[in-house]
Amino acid sequence: MCDTLVAVGKATADGTVILAKNSDREPNEAQQVVIIPPAVHETGATVQCTYIEVPQVRETYGVLLSKPFWIWGCEMGANECGVVIGNEAVFAKIPAGKEAGLIGMDFIRLALERADTARQALEVITELLETYGQSGNCGHLRKQYYHNSFLIADPTEAWVLETVARFWVAERVRDVRTISNGLTIGREWDLASPGLVEYAVERGWCRSRQDFHFARCFSDFLYTRFSDSAARQGRTTELLRAKMGSITVQTMMEVLRDHGPRAAADPSWRPDGLTNLTVCAHASWGPIRFSQTTGSLVSHLAPDLQTHWLTATSAPCTGIFRPVYLEGGLPDLGPEPTETYDPNSLWWNHERLHRSVLRDYPPCLSLYRQDRDALEAEFLVRAAEMYERYRDVPIEERSDLLAAFTAACFERACGATEEWLEKVSAAEIKGRSLLRRSSVQAWLYRRAWRKFNRQAGFAWE
């Protein structure tokens, strides 16, 4: 399960477009952050996606991807033109295809490599969808088959695109918009695939165009219900609407760290439940909470310089956002992560802190949360200064300037993470309250994380 949100125009404090996403995957399904440079391809070339090959285009744009380590496509990403896309699994009355084909994450990368605007990215996805359909397993250890919705943005506009099989419908964003694993477009839209309404009428899902409601006609009740999509989408929309006209990058970071109204009102809240999926997702035992936020992104799409804030790690509530620019590249993130623990990989290195905090969430997080917030706030201030400085620097020096800033932020974040881990590890939290709790849900939660750790070869000391 995932959550993607966007604010455009007068909804943001500076009039820019800001898109954000939490990518929720299996707890050991490490998220890899990569930059793929632009390329020119031979005539007649093909590109191997996760499962199938499709014809390649002549030129592809440089892209920044945050992706499950085993998938060709990505959960979220951006390109050198300022286009940013995040997707969501959605469930429909039409069964999702299981045969090898294009999956939602492939559509994102293909669109980012081929489109220089949000509208063109929408067209790339819908053309591929109508040509190839969408199908294939999207899960790592746990097989998952689903349809997809997308939030697509560039520095001037944003679009919601919702798809079922080869059908699709799109709506241009007017101020703020969020999506969370459920179809949301109803009676009104801006663009749609041919035959959409007629298909629903033929199957008795509605009587006419006047009676047609995309989400109501096409949604599957069971999976949509248990994904808590309505509650999460309502929560993210509420949080953004409360800040209308003053939404910033920091606002989006706060929303991605949200655990719901109950947690906001209760400082003793802990993530050891079995239901109640939250925006900042924490895995637990059972069929409902099998996923964990494994990567987070906030993209600030200023017209002349786009700043992409990534955790490059799981659980944004325990981690820190770091600035990345396509022009400046990425610092060394260590070996490419897999499902096996490797402390030399940035993603798995953070898991030492994340999984230590989970042992007793409220007191452990409180040991460093203020320090984390202060460091992140410093990064935001320096990024704003960098934006002003960037425009005055000669073009040939800009990439080096951005690379140095990104590298410095990553280095400081990694150093701080080590300090925070020492604090959490050294703290004598009497009895480790989670470990001594005797409730059934606490026991099942502990059991689930012991299993996750065992599968990854991770020692929870």
Q: What is the DSSP letter of 247?
A: B
Cα-only R_g, the chain: 21
Task: Tell the CATH topology of 3-419.
Answer: Penicillin V Acylase; Chain A (3.60.60)
What is the pTM (predicted TM-score) of this model?
Answer: 0.96
Q: Which two tokens stand for residue 76?
A: 């979220």
Is 81 marked active-site?
Answer: no
- Which positions ≥6 away from 234 have C-beta within 8 Å? none
DSSP E strands in 139-246: the ranges are 147-153, 158-164, 167-172, 176-179, 191-192
- Under-70 pLDDT residues of the chain: 428-438, 460-461
Give domain limits for the chain.
3-419
Residue-wise burial string across 200-222, b where 16 or more C-beta atoms lie within 10 A, e elsewhere: bbeeebbeeeeebbbbebbbbee
Q: Which residue has the tokens 């285009």?
A: 57
Torsion angles phi and psi, residue 5, rounded to 5:
-145, 155
pLDDT at 434: 47
Please give the pLDDT value at position 428. 63
Please, what's the b/e burial string for 98-132 (b: 16 or more CB within 10 A of its CB; e: otherwise)?
A: eeebbbbbbbbbbbbbbbebbbbbbbbbbebbeeb
pLDDT of residue 430: 47
